[in-house]
């Protein structure tokens, strides 16, 4: 996720064509603040949140994983799992020190399963002010790592977990992170688990763990397998076929939207989400403008300067985004969705109420991605 900018101000942000120009955006914000001076403090807080993402980078920490998830974003369609890893701990420490000197403000730790290489996370924790770790939750991450931990959730019960991920995961993750302020459960809502949205929220509330949502978005590789009627395998395509897949229909999106909105009200201390953002992401149709190759042109999760993506050989690679095989036309992934809200759109600047909604979205974004006790 990235602000995609070379500085801290709205004037320096790269604005896609569907937005106002940088100058017009800044002028409109100034006008709104003059007319609603009571929003100035709220806006300044939003700027501080955005500033944390001024120079982001993605780091693949490990190429191994202890699960086999249906349609895995890392192994299905990707190639970096074959990368020859740098193994010397001192090399990782030196690398992170160089990245810190480069000015990286926000570090995303991904891979297959970062929790399998926690010495690398500990090395990074000495260097970066903000960090976000994506994990499956089966292995508890060291308390000395002061970063936000996004724990992926796919199902509310053991049977579905085993079917979709190859093991019972959610209950183990809840026990690992019960009461841990760093952790937030990231429930990927798909056609297969809409009915468990309320149950997952209640389970998180009962364990004192925060919850937010991701919306299932298929990869190009997965869609090709569906379209080509490929046979199931023993790895990452075990369950799906043309008539049975996690892909959400328009009706599914509507139902999921309503249930997710319900949990915001029912579990206010647990569910960290935004109705305005949810309504936008669950609207049918592509969420992004696409070029002639079907690539999103206004997604702020695109890997463009100053953002970089590194594999476990500590080399940066050209990559479309943090999940390069995802199909942009149907992408509703939380990384691209939230980062694309850093810049207020025309709709966000229509009037006082829309501007407040945008400010609240940024507040929610900060709660999802930033752990407040991180070193700064």
Q: How many CB atoms lie within 10 A of CB 69?
A: 23
Whole-number pLDDT of residue 373: 59
Q: Which residue has 């994983």 as its token pair? A: 65
Whole-number pLDDT of residue 77: 72
Q: Which two tokens stand for residue 338?
A: 């939230």
Whole-number pLDDT of residue 66: 93
**From the centroid of its chain, how far is CA 279?**
17
Query: In this structure, are residues 290 and 334 in contact, taking their beta carbons and an 8 Å threshold?
Result: no
Q: Give, as one character, the DSSP assignment of residue 267.
A: -
**Over the chain (376 residues), what is each successive 10-residue block's mean pLDDT?**
44 48 93 98 96 96 93 82 92 98 97 96 96 97 96 95 92 96 97 97 98 96 94 93 95 98 97 96 93 92 92 94 92 94 92 96 97 61
CA pair distance 356, 358, nearest whole angstrom: 5
Whole-number pLDDT of residue 14: 35
Query: In this structure, are residues 321 and 297 in contact, taking their beta carbons and an 8 Å threshold?
Result: no
Q: Which residue has 């309503």 as its token pair? A: 258
Whole-number pLDDT of residue 375: 42
Query: In this structure, are residues 169 and 69 in contact, taking their beta carbons and an 8 Å threshold?
Result: no
Q: Which two tokens stand for residue 154?
A: 């796919």
Whole-number pLDDT of residue 4: 46
- Label the pairing between strands 308-310 and 56-62: parallel
CATH class of 10-369: alpha beta
CA pair distance 287, 119, nearest whole angstrom: 38
Q: Which residues pair with 148 in a beta bridge?
A: 132
Give CA separation, 80 vs 124, 309, 333, in Å: 21, 11, 20
Give CA separation, 112 vs 21, 136, 217, in Å: 38, 9, 18
| CB burial readout 219-238, b (16+ within 10 A) else e | bbbbbebbeeeeeeeeebbe
Whole-number pLDDT of residue 105: 96
CA pair distance 252, 320, nearest whole angstrom: 28
Contacts made by residues 10-14, CB under 8 angstroms, sequence distance 24+: 10/343, 13/342, 13/343, 14/304
Whole-number pLDDT of residue 1: 55
For residue 311, the SS3 value is coil
Class of residue 113 by CB neighbours under 10 A (exposed 0-12, middle 13-18, buried 19+) = buried
Task: Flag whether the pTM goes above 0.95.
Answer: no
What are the residue boundaries of the structural domains of the chain, listed by start?
A: 10-369
């Amino acid at each position: 996720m990235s602000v995609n900018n070379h500085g801290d101000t709205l004037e320096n942000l790269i604005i896609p064509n569907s937005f106002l120009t940088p100058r017009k955006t800044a002028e409109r914000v100034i006008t709104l603040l003059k007319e609603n001076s009571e929003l100035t403090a709220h806006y300044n807080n939003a700027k501080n949140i955005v500033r944390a993402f001024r120079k982001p980078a993605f780091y693949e920490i490990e190429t191994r994983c202890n699960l086999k998830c249906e349609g895995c974003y890392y192994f299905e369609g990707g190639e970096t799992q074959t990368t020859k890893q740098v193994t010397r701990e001192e090399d990782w420490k030196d690398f992170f020190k160089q990245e810190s000197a480069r000015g990286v403000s926000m570090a995303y730790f991904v891979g297959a399963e970062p929790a399998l290489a926690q010495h690398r996370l500990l090395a990074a924790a000495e260097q970066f002010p903000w960090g976000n770790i994506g994990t499956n939750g089966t292995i508890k991450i060291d308390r000395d790592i002061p970063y936000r931990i996004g724990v992926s959730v796919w199902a509310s019960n053991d049977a579905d977990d085993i079917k979709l991920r190859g093991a019972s995961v959610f209950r183990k993750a809840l026990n690992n992170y019960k009461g841990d302020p760093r952790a937030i459960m990231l429930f990927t809502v798909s056609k297969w688990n809409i009915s468990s949205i309320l149950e997952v929220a209640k389970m998180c509330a009962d364990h004192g763990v925060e919850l937010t949502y991701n919306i299932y978005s298929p990869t190009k590789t997965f869609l090709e397998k569906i379209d080509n009627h490929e046979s199931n395998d023993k790895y990452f395509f075990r369950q799906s076929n043309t008539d049975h897949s996690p892909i959400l229909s328009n009706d599914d999106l509507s139902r999921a939207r309503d249930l997710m909105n319900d949990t915001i009200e029912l579990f206010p201390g647990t569910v960290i989400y935004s109705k305005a953002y949810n309504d936008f992401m669950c609207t049918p149709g592509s969420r992004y403008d696409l070029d002639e190759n079907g690539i999103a042109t206004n997604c702020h999760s695109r890997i463009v300067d100053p953002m970089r993506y590194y594999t476990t050989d500590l080399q940066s690679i050209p990559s479309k985004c943090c999940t390069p095989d995802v199909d942009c036309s149907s992408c509703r992934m939380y990384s691209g969705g939230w980062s694309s809200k850093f810049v207020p759109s025309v709709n966000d600047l229509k009037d006082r109420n829309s501007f407040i909604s945008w400010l609240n979205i940024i507040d929610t974004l900060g709660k999802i991605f930033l752990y407040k006790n991180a070193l700064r």
